[in-house]
Amino acid sequence: MASFVILLGPPGVGKGTQAKIIAEKTRRAHISSGDLFRENIKNQTDLGKKAKAYLDKGELVPDDVTIDMIRDRLRQPDCQAGAILDGFPRTPAQAEALDALLMDFRVQVDLVPNLTAPASVLVDRIGGRLTCRAHSHVFHSKYDPPKVPGKCDLDGSDLYQREDDKPETVQRRIQVYMEQTAPLIEYYRHQGKIVEVDGTREVNDVTSDLMDALQKV
């Protein structure tokens, strides 16, 4: 079974939703670069102070800052059995840095599922997304409503709308994805690691496609 898996795909396609489920099913660590940045912003760390302006505008945090953060995360003991990467890498320089880093650990990226959905679906999903303050659990006002309005089913903390989920910032994030991250599809296709996954289907159907792909590696 694949150990290091990258979920690629545009904002709102379901990377976080699927990464969480797959990580639990396969007992791998779930590494979300976006969640790590938001956690640092919440705790007002130096890293959070550097990253905040970029997240607010929907721009990418500079590569050196992002790569250092992920390097530290991958060195944590829970990553020894592998990890599901969600939101990293996002530029060719990040992908090359990840390859070099994993080579040091004598492992490699095993599989890169590329989740796809049209922009209308992304906007609809991001528009209704509700995120929990305590642990970044994700709900959707229409597709996955919480049992108690405004409260996380799993830990009871408040649900909020992410600052960068405002319509104008969403458009910029989609554009940034097209310009800076979509080239990674070819990067990993060259390595024979891309598997295409239709992200428009229901959550459970997407999960089973991903699990099938993982079993084959």
Q: How many CB atoms lie within 10 A of CB 119?
A: 14
How many whole angstroms separate alpha carbon 95 and alpha carbon 116?
19
Report the sign of the C-alpha dihedral through residues 150, 151, 157, 161, in that order. Answer: negative
- Nearest residue to the partner ligand AP5, using Cβ: 34
User: Rule CB under 6 A: is residue 12 a binding residue for ligand AP5?
Assistant: yes
The DSSP output letter for 200 is T
User: Rule CB under 6 A: is residue 173 a binding residue for ligand AP5?
Assistant: yes
- The listed partner (Mg ion, ligand AP5, none) that binds 33, CB under 5 to 8 Å by sort, is ligand AP5
**Per-residue tokens: 104:** 């040091």
Task: Report yes or no: 98 and 109 within 8 Å, Cβ to Cβ.
Answer: yes
How many whole angstroms separate alpha carbon 48 and alpha carbon 36?
9
From the list 14, 16, 89, 113, which residue makes contact with Mg ion (rule: CB under 5 A)?
A: 16
Residues 103-132 binding ligand AP5 (CB under 6 A) are: 125-126, 128-129
Of 138 and 214, the one with the shorter C-beta distance to ligand AP5 is 138
- The listed partner (ligand AP5, Mg ion, none) that binds 138, CB under 5 to 8 Å by sort, is ligand AP5
Note the Cα 185 to chain centre separation in Å. 15
Provide the binding-site residues for ligand AP5, judged by CB under 6 A: 9, 11-17, 33-34, 37, 54-55, 58-61, 66, 87-90, 94, 125-126, 128-129, 138-140, 143-144, 164, 173, 202-203, 206
